[in-house]
Amino acid sequence: MSQLILTTDHGAVRVLTINRPDKLNALNRATLEALHAAFDAAAADEAVRALVLTGSGGKAFVAGADIAEMSGLSAVQARDFSLVGQRLMRRMERMPKPVVAMINGFALGGGLELAMCCHLRIAADTAKLGLPEVTLGLLPGFGGSQRLLRLVGRAFALELTLTGAPVDAARALELGLVNRVVPADGLDAETMALATKLAANAPLAMRGILDAIHVGGECAIDDGLEYESAQFGLAFSTADAREGMTAFLERRKPAFDNR
């Protein structure tokens, strides 16, 4: 059987490619578990400072969950499948390193849920994004209803989930569902340029930022402000902060080494 997740490193950037092109990279249980293992490995590897997630085959980022596998599940098995997906999504959004979704085609259902867990999203101008579960008599099961609400607001979250209709990349950008839209033939270069820029930043500072924004999105503002101050103070204990400020004063480029 072919590898479900292809891993390639470009300097400090690790690219994870979901590799089920014959199934439009649909997410079955084995793929969810392989992704979880891949993110665990990337988190533990100090040489990796940023990640890119994409799909193979050119047609799809991920076209959804694997309906062929799902159709035979009992109610209890379906709940367990949902929990496997939700654990992966939670793992991804709590990654201590920035993750960029390179949306190279369809990102539907579980595929959009996967993209929404990435910290940044860049879409090809040919991409289509949506949560069509309602058209199957279902609803999102990997956290889509909750993350879509937080990304685009109540009105558009309801529109997208209740109609099940996908949107094109331009509309996704208007809604705030993606950060950038680029021509399809420039998607790889644009995404790698962004990921390389992220990888050059201070890793511990990026971790603090990711934590602060994640925590702030789930708590009252006073609690978020207190958490930010704590992270700000903690940054001053790092060698990278001393290097960054010294380099600024000396008018040179900093050399961060994750300490």
Query: Based on the domain organization, do 178 and 211 belong to the same domain?
Result: no
Structure-block tokens of residue 163:
């109609």
* pLDDT number for residue 58: 86
What CA–CA distance (Å, rounded) separates 174 from 160? 14
* pLDDT number for residue 258: 87
In a domain, 191, yes or no: yes
* pLDDT number for residue 237: 94
Which residues 6+ apart lie within 8 Å of 51 measured at CB? 13, 14, 15, 16, 39, 42, 95, 97, 98, 99, 100, 195
In a domain, 258, yes or no: no
| Domain residue limits at 243 | 203-249
Query: Based on the domain organization, do 216 and 94 belong to the same domain?
Result: no
Which of 158, 182, 199 terminates a domain? The answer is: 199
Query: Based on the domain organization, do 155 and 82 belong to the same domain?
Result: yes
* pLDDT number for residue 39: 98
Report the 3 state secondary structure along 105-124.
Answer: CEEECHHHHHHHHCCEEEEE
Is 228 an annotated catalytic residue?
no
In a domain, 84, yes or no: yes
Is 159 an annotated catalytic residue?
no
What CA–CA distance (Å, rounded) separates 126 from 169? 7
Query: Based on the domain organization, do 136 and 230 belong to the same domain?
Result: no
In a domain, 88, yes or no: yes
Number of domains in the chain: 2
| Amino acid present at 93 | E
* pLDDT number for residue 138: 96
Query: Based on the domain organization, do 111 and 207 belong to the same domain?
Result: no
Count Cβ atoms within 10 A of the Cβ of residue 5 and give its class: 0-12 exposed, 13-18 middle, 19 or more buried: buried
CB-hemisphere CA count at 13 Å for 188? Answer: 8
* Cβ atoms 105, 58 nearer than 8 A: yes
* pLDDT by position in tens, the chain (length 259): 469 999 999 999 999 999 999 999 999 999 999 999 999 999 999 999 999 999 999 899 999 999 999 999 999 999 999 999 999 999 999 999 999 999 999 999 999 999 999 999 999 999 999 999 999 999 999 999 999 999 999 999 999 999 999 999 999 999 999 999 999 999 999 999 999 999 999 999 999 999 999 999 889 999 999 999 999 999 999 999 999 999 999 999 999 998 8
Annotated active-site residue in 113, 218, 243, 250: 113
Query: Based on the domain organization, do 101 and 81 belong to the same domain?
Result: yes
Burial letters 137-148, b for 16+ CB under 10 A, else e: ebebbbbbbebb
Annotated active-site residue in 133, 159, 226, 228: 133
CATH number of the domain within which 217 lies: 1.10.12.10
How many whole angstroms from its chain centre is CA 204?
Answer: 19
Query: Based on the domain organization, do 131 and 234 belong to the same domain?
Result: no
Query: Based on the domain organization, do 235 and 117 belong to the same domain?
Result: no
CATH number of the domain within which 80 lies: 3.90.226.10
Query: Based on the domain organization, do 234 and 154 belong to the same domain?
Result: no
Strand order in the sheet with 167-168: 60-62, 106-108, 128-130, 167-168
* pLDDT number for residue 1: 42
